[in-house]
Structure 1
Amino acid sequence: MLFVGDDWAEDHHDVALINEEGRLLARRRLSEGVKGIEALHGLIADHLDEQDGSDQVMVGIETDRGPWVAALLAANYAVFAVNPLQAARYRERHGTSGAKSDKGDALVLAQLVRTDHAHHRPITGDSDAAEEVKVLARSHQSLIWARQRQVNVLRSNLREYFPAALAAFGSALADRDAIAVLAVAPGPEKARKLSSAKVQSLLRQAGRSRYLQSRADEITSALQSEQLEARAGIEAAYTATTKALVAVIAELNNQIQALQGQVEECFGRHPDAEIYLSQPGLGPVLGARVLAEFGDAPHRYADARARKNYSGMSPITRASGKKSVVLARYARNRRLVDALYGQAFAALNASPGAREYYAARRARGATHHQALRALGNRLVGILHGCLRHHTRYNENTAWSAAKEETLNAA
């Protein structure tokens, strides 16, 4: 066996090769790209026995994606994605001085896969369809997060000089009504000149078709209400800033909408799309996010428990002496947890079984978030069973065991 540690950076890779006894065979700094991966293959070939194949090579690296990792998998190496926190703790096993270097980190990763590879899961390649869904779903979600950051800045900005706008639109500053009006009247001076008819016209152009007059009257009344005013020069500066922020948010809205269509189309082509869409609380967007983060490699999760642990919805127990505490997981995939929380919340109205399970948890003293996490954990287990048996969700089958647990607890 040959063990390789790969400490990667944006433009290079520090690699270390060791044998089964832990003896260092070679160290190199390789460039990112085709020449670098060719040099790595050549270096490995030079130290492999003639009768050994590429399946006798184990690679430790602190990432699970990118062209470099894809090339390692294509070469049939066993590739282990090591969490940086785990690598840091392993480094401390070999020295307490706190010294750190890229060459040293590469050797640490090589030693880690040599001694502890049984405690780490090798990267299993997803299908091209799942990878395509992942790229689109993550990009779509990242744009939504970027929009929220801009909305937070806009809200803070309006508080300083134009609180009437917050009274008119509340927290819905990214919605079409707010964007349409604030693009024309980003400050108090122009807002005072807006008539109800003008606001109706703006709302109509933005796509609103119902309650035009009543909504326009509400907005006009709020914008023209009395408020404390900022100094003239300061107000002009804030107005210019708001105008720029509104333009950015408007463009983000357009791109989010366009990308959402591509997410739904791509997700719909995946062979497991019907199974995901049959789950309570999952639509095309949330379903795409869950598929993207779980992947579709058939043997990645040994059982439902493994999938639940990866999801971050299952709790962890910290026990010492007579003290035992059950806590939510802190280290977890944020994108996946965000999607599963959304599913659990939507499932309360979509599934009687989910609502009953949630209510039973609350009756036993769980908070809203604790009950929602428990429901999300249960839904992950149901999804795993459906994917394993290639069957769609069935309400009665999914919650029969949960009902028995509730009766026994009572």
Structure 2
Amino acid sequence: MSLALPRALMFVGVDWAVDEHAVCVMDPSGEVVTGFVIGHAADAIARLVRRPAKFGPAGQLPIPIGRPNGRLVDLLLEAGHPVVPVKPNAIKVWRESEGPSGAKNDLRNAEVVADYLRARQRRLRVAAPYSDHTKAVRTVVRTRGDLVEARVAATNQVSALLAAYWPGALALFADVESRISLEFLTRYPTPTSAARPAIKDLDRSTAAHLGEHPDGEVFTSLPRSGQINAAQMLTEEGDCRPADESADSVAALAGCTPVTKESGKHRAVHFRWACNKRFRQAMTTFADNSRHASPWAKKIYEQARASGKDHPHAIRVLAHAWIRVIYRCWLDGRPYDPEQHRSAAALTKQLTGQNAA
């Protein structure tokens, strides 16, 4: 979610790299006030957060960021800076229009980012800070997601090693990550043996934080959302409900709508690569599960498949449809009720009548 960009005293451009990061501070006329380079250590990041303060209140020093999430964004938001999400491709196009020679360096890149923000400020929006409830759930559920990925990778590695050197042990168990399998393989220590208990602890922590979140009931009321998937959807969607946002903009953020490009008579529709990947995974997982519990969701999925779309495409179509419903529930602060969902209620009534006949 996003808000209008406030009046700025200075514009701070950051060129984010792997080992060091260039920073440029530009005044409203386009003159560079200062530029500097910092390392990636914690104290250097803290200096990036503190140093622009000499030029004015943090609330009037917007900072554009290519990724609107992560620890740096949290630190900038906590310091009071308006954080402006910008698309890397947009910066690339802007850089090419400003410097057609293609020559560039880190400080010049930071200057280009600051100038892009200065010139486009009326069209850009500020990322809304997460509430404490959402940050708590997000931290737990993202840590769980990272551990699940690590567990899957470790399990695959163990399976490959057993298949190569001890196929009998692999054939002995239906699931390599099951408790009995892990106990049997304890003499061969692996990350898998520790990952599973940690994930269970995070599952309990996620459920506890979700129960305390003011929007938790909205997301857990969705058919087959569960606790973990509900928490994933909630934390990636965020907190703010500004009037200038729409369900379609949320769907775009989740990568559940295509990108349409038109030029003259040419029109092309492409898969949306630029999005919040975690949000897309959360929404498509829920959509896929929901069609087994909701007749309305099942109908939308089947219609999409009947029109020639493959399974992943049909699931994104269903996820987009769900986002419209969830957004309405979210704005009203009311749990999902299929009786209040007109399309779902009408379909249920129709199916009930057919069964009675």
TM-score range, shorter chain: 0.7 to 0.9
- 1:301–1:358 CA distance, 2 compared to 1 (3 A): farther
* Matching of residue 24 in structure 1 with residue 25 in structure 2: no
Q: Match for residue 38 of structure 1?
A: 50
Mapped to 2, the partners of 1:68 and 1:181 lie a distance apart of 43
| Gap regions ≥5 residues in structure 1 | 46-52, 185-242
Question: Which of 66, 70, 73 lines up with 2:77 in the alignment?
Answer: 73
Q: 1:333 aligns with which of 244, 256, 276?
A: 276
Task: Verify: 1:3 aligned to 2:11, yes or no.
Answer: yes
Aligned-partner SS, 2:64: strand
How far 1:90 moved relative to its partner? 2.5
Paired with 2:210 and 2:18, the residues of 1 have a C-alpha distance of: 30
* Number of residue pairs the alignment of both structures matches: 336
> Does residue 100 of the first structure (1) align with residue 104 of the second (2)?
yes
- Match of residue 159 from structure 2: 155
Query: Which of residues 267, 274, 298 in structure 1 aligns to 2:217?
Result: 274
Which of 179, 182, 190 matches 2:182? 179
Q: What is the distance in 1 between the residues matched to 2:273 and 2:345?
A: 26
Alignment map for 1:9-408 (pairs within 5 Å): 14-29=22-37, 32=44, 34-42=46-54, 44-45=55-56, 55-65=59-69, 68-74=72-78, 76-169=80-173, 172-183=175-186, 243-244=188-189, 247-299=190-242, 302-319=245-262, 324-398=267-341, 400=343
Q: 5+ residue gaps in structure 2?
A: 1-8, 351-357
3-state SS, counterpart of residue 395 of structure 1: coil
Q: Normalization by structure 2: what TM-score?
A: 0.83
- The SS at the match of 2:62 is strand
| 110-119 or 135-144: bigger deviation | 110-119
8 A Cα contact 1:6 1:15, kept in partner: yes
Give the drift of 1:157: 1.7
8 Å CA contact 2:12–2:23 kept in 1: the answer is: yes
1:107 Cα offset (Å): 0.6
Partner SS, residue 32 of structure 1: helix
Q: Is the 8 A contact 1:134 1:289 kept in 2?
A: yes
Q: 1:290 touches 1:340 (CA, 8 Å); kept in 2? A: yes
- Cα distance, 1:399–1:339 mapped onto 2, change above 3 Å: farther
Q: Distance in 1 between matches of 2:120 and 2:206?
A: 38
Identity percentage of aligned residues: 29
Residues 296-355 of structure 1 show CA distances to partners (whole Å, capped at 9, x for unaligned) of 123297111111111111122344565544333222222222211211111012212111
One-letter amino acid of the counterpart of residue 158, structure 1: L
What amino acid is aligned across from residue 40 of structure 1 in structure 2? P
Residue identity in the other structure for 2:65: I
Rate the CA distance shift 1:149–1:253 in 2: closer, same or farther, 3 A.
same
- 1:244-289 per-residue CA deviation (whole Å, 9 max, x = no partner) reads 3xx3211111111111111111111100100110112311101111
Residue by residue, what CA displacement relative to the aligned partner does 1:106-125 show, whole Å, maximum 9, x if unpaired? Answer: 21111010112334331111
One-letter code of the match for 2:62? M
8 A contact 1:281–1:345 mirrored in 2: no
SS at match of 1:122: strand
Q: Output the CA distance in 2 between the equivalents of 1:132 and 1:354.
A: 31
Residue 13 of structure 1, CA deviation: 5.1
Task: Note the aligned Cα RMSD (angstroms).
Answer: 2.8
Q: Distance in 2 between matches of 1:354 and 1:66?
A: 33
Cα–Cα, structure 1 residues 363 and 179, in superposed 2: closer, same or farther, change >3 Å?
same
Contact 1:12 1:32 in 2 (8 A): no
Q: Who wins on radius of gyration, i.e. which is larger?
A: 1
**Distance (whole Å) between structure 2 residues aligned to residue 363 and residue 10 of structure 1:** 46
Cα distance in 1, alignment partners of residues 180 and 261 from structure 2: 49
Instruction: Please tell me whether the aligned partners of residues 140 and 256 of structure 1 are also in contact (alpha carbons under 8 angstroms).
Output: yes
What is the rounded CA distance, in whole Å, between the counterparts of 2:265 and 2:345 in structure 1?
30
Q: Which has the higher mean CA deviation after the structures are superposed, 358-367 or 340-349?
A: 358-367
Counterpart contact for 1:11–1:32, Cα < 8 Å: no
Cα distance between partner residues in 1 of 2:222 and 2:242: 21
Give yes or no for contact 1:60–1:112 (8 Å, CA) kept in 2.
no
Aligned-residue offset at 1:290 = 1.0
8 Å contact from structure 1 (residues 60, 80) kept in 2: yes
Question: For residues 182 and 165 of structure 1, what CA distance do their matches in structure 2 show?
Answer: 9
